[in-house]
């Protein structure tokens, strides 16, 4: 009986080519999550007539503001043509949650980390270290803010005001996406835009998440229902993962040690987490 059922499933897959595409968003945006690669994958899912719905599997602490919004726009464009379900399986924080806001539904693993809706600008100040080394930096610039964020000098009051202006402007765009996606009123928006994170179960009460799913199969079923499909046969899209990536080896897939490694490390170090 079981063999007959498997044969029936295989035959159905052969004759019915409709699929739900599973796209992974794993790692720091700008680090392990290569923006251009993910944009191409989202575009391919949008253009493929056999793909009737998309499941985004998210496990990311966020990343660069511009890259996050670019991917959010791409998800929104995809969602305008076919259902998109974002399933936060581990961490869906900051820019990763921004991306999820482009989906038709947001689901979460019950104990996943969700939220961190906010913007942060961080820069080191190395003035004292340079002084101890007997080193100084000579700067010739064309405008007051040309070396904004430079580590070799203390920020001026004007610098701090300019950085605040930029952070607030990005934050307003993030908040607008959350408000539109989640249908929140002013009180609801104020409650969730403090930079806090919550477990998935708490995020449901805050309307940041539509429901809980504890495995990929049940998340696929939601995408199946939205697409009106009689099945949830799926296909995984995106760059092929190496054996080291599948084994969870740190740094696998990032290429030679360089800037992406630093971005990935910094992103996860800033990510809130629960340990046991």
Predicted confidence at residue 261, as pLDDT, reads 52
Cβ–Cβ < 8 Å for 23, 97: no
Nearest to 267 by CA among 49, 96, 103: 96
Predicted confidence at residue 241, as pLDDT, reads 60
Q: How far is CA 50 from CA 11, 42, 141, 247, in A?
A: 17, 14, 55, 30
- The C-alpha atoms of residue 73 and residue 61 are separated, in whole angstroms, by 19
Taking only the tens of pLDDT, the chain with its 276 residues reads 556 556 566 656 667 788 999 999 998 888 778 899 999 999 999 999 999 999 999 999 988 889 999 999 999 999 999 999 999 999 999 999 999 999 999 999 999 999 999 887 777 777 777 677 777 777 777 878 777 767 767 777 887 788 888 888 999 999 999 999 999 999 999 999 999 999 999 999 999 999 999 999 999 999 999 999 998 899 999 866 655 455 554 455 555 555 555 555 555 556 665 543
- Two tokens at 242? 């190496």
Could you read off the pLDDT of 115-165 as tens digits, one per residue? 999 887 777 777 777 677 777 777 777 878 777 767 767 777 887 788 888
Q: Coil, strand, or helix at residue 276?
A: coil
Predicted confidence at residue 237, as pLDDT, reads 93
Cβ–Cβ < 8 Å for 93, 61: yes
How many CA atoms, within 13 angstroms, populate the side-chain half-sphere of residue 178? 33
Cβ–Cβ < 8 Å for 114, 93: yes
Predicted confidence at residue 242, as pLDDT, reads 55
Give residue for tokens 């969730």.
192
First to last CA, the chain: 43
Could you read off the pLDDT of 147-158 as tens digits, one per residue? 776 776 777 788
Predicted confidence at residue 275, as pLDDT, reads 45
Strands 197-199 and 234-237: unpaired
Residues 6+ apart with CB under 8 A from 6: none
**Measured at the alpha carbon of residue 65, what is the angle toward residues 174 and 150, in degrees to the nearest 5?**
130
Predicted confidence at residue 8, as pLDDT, reads 63
Domains along the sequence of the chain with CATH: 2-116+196-270 (3.90.226.10), 117-188 (no CATH)
H or E, element range at 199: strand 197-199
Residues 6+ apart with CB under 8 A from 19: 50, 51, 52, 233, 234, 235
Residue 227, phi then psi, degrees to nearest 5: -85, -10
Q: What burial class does residue 263 get, using C-beta atoms within 10 Å of its C-beta: 0-12 exposed, 13-18 middle, 19+ buried?
A: buried
Residues 6+ apart with CB under 8 A from 72: 98, 99, 101, 102, 177
What are the counts of helices (DSSP H) followed by strands (DSSP E) for the chain?
11, 8
Strands 105-108 and 211-212: parallel
pTM over 0.75: yes
């Amino acid at each position: 009986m079981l063999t007959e059922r498997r044969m029936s499933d295989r035959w159905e897959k052969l004759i019915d080519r409709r699929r739900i595409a599973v796209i992974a968003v794993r790692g720091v945006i700008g680090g392990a999550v290569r923006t251009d690669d993910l944009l191409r994958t989202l575009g391919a899912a949008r253009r493929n007539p056999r793909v009737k719905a998309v499941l985004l599997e998210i496990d990311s602490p966020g990343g660069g503001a511009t890259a996050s919004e670019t991917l959010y726009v791409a998800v929104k464009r995809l969602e305008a043509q076919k259902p998109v379900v974002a399933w936060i399986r581990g961490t869906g924080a900051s820019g990763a949650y921004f991306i999820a806001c482009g989906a038709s539904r947001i689901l979460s693993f019950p104990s996943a980390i969700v939220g961190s809706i906010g913007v942060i600008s961080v820069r080191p100040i190395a003035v004292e270290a340079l002084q101890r080394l007997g080193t100084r930096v000579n700067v010739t610039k064309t405008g007051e803010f040309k070396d904004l964020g430079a580590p070799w000098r203390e920020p001026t009051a004007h610098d701090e005001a300019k950085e605040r202006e930029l952070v607030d402007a990005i934050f307003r765009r993030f908040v607008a996406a959350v408000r539109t996606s989640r249908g929140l009123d002013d009180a609801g928006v104020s409650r969730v835009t403090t930079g806090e994170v919550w477990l998935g179960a708490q995020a449901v009460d805050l309307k940041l998440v539509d429901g809980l799913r504890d495995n990929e199969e049940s998340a696929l079923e939601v995408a199946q229902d939205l697409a009106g499909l009689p099945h949830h046969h799926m296909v995984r899209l995106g760059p092929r993962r190496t054996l080291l990536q599948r084994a969870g080896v740190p740094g696998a897939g990032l290429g030679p040690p360089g800037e992406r490694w630093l971005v990935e490390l910094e992103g996860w170090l800033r990510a809130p987490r629960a340990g046991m």
